[in-house]
Amino acid sequence: MNKRNGAFKRRISYTAVICAIYAPSLVIAQEDEEDGAGRAIEEVIVTAERREASVQDTSISITALTSENLEDFGIRNQEDLQNFIPATTIQPYDATVRGVGRNFRALGGDPGISTYMNGIYSEDLLTATAATFWDVERVEILRGPQGTLYGRNAVGGAINILYNEPSQEFDYSLKSIVGNFGTDEWYGMMNIPVNDQFSTRINFSVRNRDGVVEELGSGDDLDGLGTENSAIQFKWTPSDDLEFNLRQNFMVIDRPFGGANGGGLVVLNEDALPSRNTTSLVPGMRFIDTSNTDQANYDSNTWYDQSQPIHSYKDPVTGAMRQAQRVRPGIDFGDFNGAQNAAASLDGFNSTSAASAQRYNDCVFGGDIDGGDLCAATNGMNNETFEQEGTQFNATWTINDRLEVKYLAGLNTLSYQRETDDDNTASMVHDRQFWVNHEARYVSHELQAFYDVNDSLSFTSGIFSYDAKIDQRGDFYSTLNEARMANPYVDNTALSAGAAGAIGAPFLAGINASTLAFSGRPMVELFTARDSCMTYDPAPAPACAR
């Protein structure tokens, strides 16, 4: 595609400006080394135990990466981070430490690794990492249960991201990154001291990149980047024993999405074969009896069609190997919710040409995968949008040399939507998309107290409150307006008067399962939540009310 083979975006002038800005610092550093300044192990200060201490004095399995580490290793997001953290795997939205994490991401599926921004709890790792690690002072990853000091959802560990605080020196920085796949990133920061007691710091990051998974159908290539984030911080120290910090950020993500970072649409095999099934209109297999070939038994589920290949499968009940053939549409029972195999209708209903089949088969990766060869097929509707605003506030009062009290408050509001192709084809006959909408508002308050008895003994205590309001909907729909996706669901489960009387419950006559399940309240019709709730004219369905 043109994106993949287009000219590399070169911005020599940008690079020259950056080099001009940083060249003096490089010269100074070189002069220092020539003057005999040797290398030394830098002491790293962490807050793993809720108070600042040297990492050598912290009795926790911890990895701490300073801003210099992040810059030197080119760590810009959570995917880069996982390459430097032992026993840790970080996905786009979650993390696992020593195999402990979140089993599913839905209502009630809280994470097993707690995330903190400036010491304030964040339920979503995406909120803390999607803005990149630009202008971050330090990232701390604590491995193992941290419930004693971190409480909620820290059974596997904790991740704490601490941002650079405003300082009393005027400072600024600008950085740009360009690369292949249309990579174009900009980062900036400015620190402004207002007076001896008050200072502010602002930063921004903009990351854009074309998709890295080639799209066989219409639409942009998949799994691109489109992130914009800005933040402003204030620090006020009215006296030696009082300190107040406030940070506010705004983030927007809008990018071509691939599901599970592209993995959801990249096909590795189908029916355990390194090829697509482009011949069967409906999915599923049926066990057959090879002796049952009489045409009179054609409607039998075990009838053997001698013109079709035989597949061998293990019987899930007996464990014995048995012979099977594909389900025949309109004849055999299939537990597939009415879904059809869109790959069998790439060029028309139940019609896929040899050329189309070969094109799709070339996009199945049954063995080793080269990143430059990745491709997938969709209807071009894959997109992820994320809007988030976050506030972190803390106030510290040093009462005396032994006692310190700290108050932390956090507010995080977000709206997340995504659409992904669920049939892995660009068929214009059958289409199924998965849509999810997630809106949330998180509020936290925490009061901490630290008391030092002596240099060897200290006590830490605190109280924490957290309120999370989440509205989440997931649904399937069709961009082709297929009847089974668009038409209202009709519940035909109501009992007749005779049937209700036969079971001794005449009061159930005429009442269907939906009425019983929803106590008479209106329900969003099957497969229509996206169109019923995300609409203004007509008004959203009554069941969409929060």
Tens digit of pLDDT for each residue in 467-477?
Answer: 988 888 778 88
Q: What is the mean pLDDT of residues 503-532?
A: 72
CA distance 501 to 37: 95
With b for 16 or more beta-carbon neighbours within 10 A and e for fewer, the 73-96 pattern comes to: eebbbbebbbeebebbebbebbbb
Of 489, 339, 488, nearest to 427 by C-alpha is 339
- Where exactly does CATH 2.170.130.10 map onto the chain? 41-163
DSSP state of 481: -
Q: What is the mean pLDDT of residues 147-166?
A: 82
Q: In terms of pTM, does the model score above 0.85?
A: no
Q: What is the pLDDT of residue 1?
A: 41
CA distance 169 to 166: 9
Q: What is the mean pLDDT of residues 410-419?
A: 91
- Compare 270 and 358 and report the one with higher pLDDT: 358
CA distance 449 to 446: 10
- Where exactly does CATH 2.40.170.20 map onto the chain? 171-265+379-477
Q: What is the mean pLDDT of residues 292-298?
A: 93
β-strand partners of 247: 233, 392
Q: What is the pLDDT of residues 231-254, one digit of tens each?
A: 999 999 999 999 999 999 999 999
The DSSP bridge pattern shows strands 157-163 and 136-143 to be antiparallel
197 Cβ contact partners less than 8 Å away, ≥ 6 residues apart? 236, 237, 238
Of 90, 155, 92, 162, nearest to 120 by C-alpha is 162
Helix (H) or strand (E) holding 466: strand 458-477
Q: Which fold has domain 171-265+379-477?
A: Maltoporin; Chain A (2.40.170)
Q: What is the mean pLDDT of residues 141-147?
A: 80
Q: What is the mean pLDDT of residues 393-418?
A: 93
Q: What is the mean pLDDT of residues 261-266?
A: 67
Q: What is the pLDDT of residue 523?
A: 58
Q: What is the pLDDT of residue 14?
A: 42
Q: Which fold has domain 41-163?
A: Ferric Hydroxamate Uptake Protein; Chain A, domain 1 (2.170.130)
Q: What is the mean pLDDT of the chain?
A: 81
CA distance 338 to 93: 32
Q: What is the pLDDT of residue 31?
A: 43
- Is the Cα torsion angle 288, 293, 298, 300 positive or negative in sign? negative
- Compare 53 and 314 and report the one with higher pLDDT: 314
Q: Is the pLDDT assigned to residue 483 strictly greater than 90?
A: no
Q: If DSSP states are collapsed to H, E and C, what string results for 8-23?
A: CCCCHHHHHHHHHHHH
For the sheet with 321-326, list strands across it: 285-287, 321-326, 311-314
- Is the Cα torsion angle 106, 111, 117, 121 positive or negative in sign? positive
- Compare 517 and 232 and report the one with higher pLDDT: 232
Q: What is the pLDDT of residue 474?
A: 79
- Compare 537 and 326 and report the one with higher pLDDT: 326
β-strand partners of 435: 419, 475
Q: Is the pLDDT assigned to residue 27 strictly greater than 50?
A: no
Residue with tokens 């089993």: 103
Structure tokens at 51: 């108070």
Q: Is the pLDDT assigned to residue 37 strictly greater than 70?
A: no
Strand ranges (E), 180-241: 183-193, 198-209, 214-215, 225-239
Residue with tokens 């010269």: 27
- What's the first-to-final CA gap in the chain, in angstroms? 44
Residue with tokens 């809106």: 439
Q: Is the pLDDT assigned to residue 40 strictly greater than 70?
A: no
CB-CB contact of 524 with 542 (8 Å): no
CA distance 414 to 390: 8
- Compare 534 and 33 and report the one with higher pLDDT: 534
